[in-house]
Chain A
């Protein structure tokens, strides 16, 4: 599992690649730290290469969203697979995130 952060003007994009499971959670939490202080930005969580998300992964997404709201930033979850989209439905988070 790798996480790459890229800044592009008003956007900060996090690219997730691999399986975001419990084993990958600690490293991913560390990798997304630069997103947490972003003020007035559009934070894109690019999931086009994300194969799987566990509860630990959902918690990371939730903490990014919470911090973004506190810093007037907006979070968009982009390009998630059908399976991961279904995880958002099963847990009830589909209405919480802006999913493209």
Chain B
């Protein structure tokens, strides 16, 4: 790097004196961004900020120091960056930033819009902002995770602009930029479609059109929101005046599929068909104990046990059930044997 002239050295001295205020500005910007994003419920990959190092500033001054009259003419002394999952989130956060900070529109650039047919790179939204109480402006970059990956790797090549880059690499780098842009768009489209799908499913569940809804993790969660097992669980809890502890149902999805439930309608019929026998099984097991705490999964667990035994699945069927619920282990055979014996005299066993 060339030695700095007197003017640039004065700016550098000004920077040294301003450093504590720049650090404070960085902290305040970070705190505002964190608080606003937390309040909005928007989840992002990262929120980061830095104060330009003296070395980096000296480099900038040696290249274009003549442009700056004072330190406050430099707009990226403090830089903040929010990295999002989706392109639509960049726009949402941009709109939040417009409320939070004063935007210097003349110096802000939406590099995404600059791209023409012969454009280079895959860039982000850069706002130059001002925060009340500070003389210095700061730069806020908003980009998606893929944009960030591209920018970071491209930065690693050491080239500052498309003009510097050798032609043989330019085309390949542009191809990658295009690929990542397509991937970003596709991720956004998938998110939109998943949201639509969940809305459609909720609508069908609310209307009771359960046979139209295929059973999967999403649809099962939607179905459970209507608390179809509550009545059975409460009946079981009443046996010993037990409290009901919420438990996840995720392990039951595979079990229900193994029991030939393909739609929510199938699940609903399974519950209706076996809930009385599931209650009888619980009464038989818990009635002579003083166990006064049960899991919210007990109703569905007993429905599965009754379904397996009623349809002739026997001990092997129960062992497979416990394998699915508790992971495969050697004790499940013994557990299946015990449960089978307990159920042996119950009415549903004699319906076969």
Nearest residue, chain B, Cβ from A58: B293
B291 x A93 contact (CB < 8 A):
no
Q: Give chain A's interface residues, CB within 8 Å of chain B.
A: 54-55, 58-59, 62, 82, 85-87, 89-100
> Of the candidates B242, B296, B335, which one forms a contact with A86 in the assembled complex, judged by CB atoms under 8 Å apart?
B335
Nearest residue, chain B, Cβ from A95: B325
Shortest B256–chain A CB gap in Å is: 13
B293 x A89 contact (CB < 8 A):
no
B295 x A86 contact (CB < 8 A):
no
A92 x B247 contact (CB < 8 A):
yes
- Chain A residues near B298: list those with CB within 8 A: 91-92
CA separation between A94 and B285, bound complex, in Å?
15
> Of the candidates B242, B293, B296, B338, which one forms a contact with A82 in the assembled complex, judged by CB atoms under 8 Å apart?
B338
Is residue B292 contacting chain A, with contact meaning CB distance below 8 A?
yes
Q: Which stretch in B176-184, B205-213, B326-334 binds the other chain?
A: B326-334
- Chain A residues near B251: list those with CB within 8 A: 95
- State which residues 171-207 of B face A: CB under 8 Å: none
B295 x A85 contact (CB < 8 A):
no
A87 x B291 contact (CB < 8 A):
yes
B334 x A55 contact (CB < 8 A):
no
Q: List 8 A-B contacts (CB under 8 A).
A: A59-B293, A62-B245, A62-B293, A86-B339, A87-B289, A92-B301, A94-B301, A95-B247
Count residues on chain B whose CB falls below 8 Å from chain A CBs: 32
Nearest residue, chain B, Cβ from A54: B290
Nearest residue, chain B, Cβ from A22: B290
- Chain B residues near A95: list those with CB within 8 A: 247-248, 251-252, 295, 297, 301, 325-326
CA separation between A89 and B327, bound complex, in Å?
14
- Chain A residues near B252: list those with CB within 8 A: 95
Known: A82-B331, A82-B334, A86-B338. A94 touches B291 (CB 8 A): no
Shortest B284–chain A CB gap in Å is: 10
Shortest A70–chain B CB gap in Å is: 15
Which of A59, A86, A93 gathers most chain B CB within 10 Å? A93
Which of B291, B293, B297, B339 gathers most chain A CB within 10 Å? B293
Residue interface bits B35-50, CB-to-A below 8 A is 1, else 0 = 0000000000000000
B331 x A85 contact (CB < 8 A):
yes
> Of the candidates A55, A91, A100, which one forms a contact with B295 in the assembled complex, judged by CB atoms under 8 Å apart?
A91
Is residue B136 contacting chain A, with contact meaning CB distance below 8 A?
no
- Chain A residues near B97: list those with CB within 8 A: none
CA separation between A93 and B297, bound complex, in Å?
8
A96 x B335 contact (CB < 8 A):
no
Given contacts A90-B285, A90-B291, A95-B325, 19 further A-B contacts (CB under 8 A): A55-B290, A59-B293, A82-B334, A85-B335, A87-B291, A89-B322, A89-B335, A91-B286, A91-B295, A91-B298, A92-B247, A92-B296, A95-B248, A95-B295, A95-B301, A95-B326, A96-B297, A99-B326, A99-B329
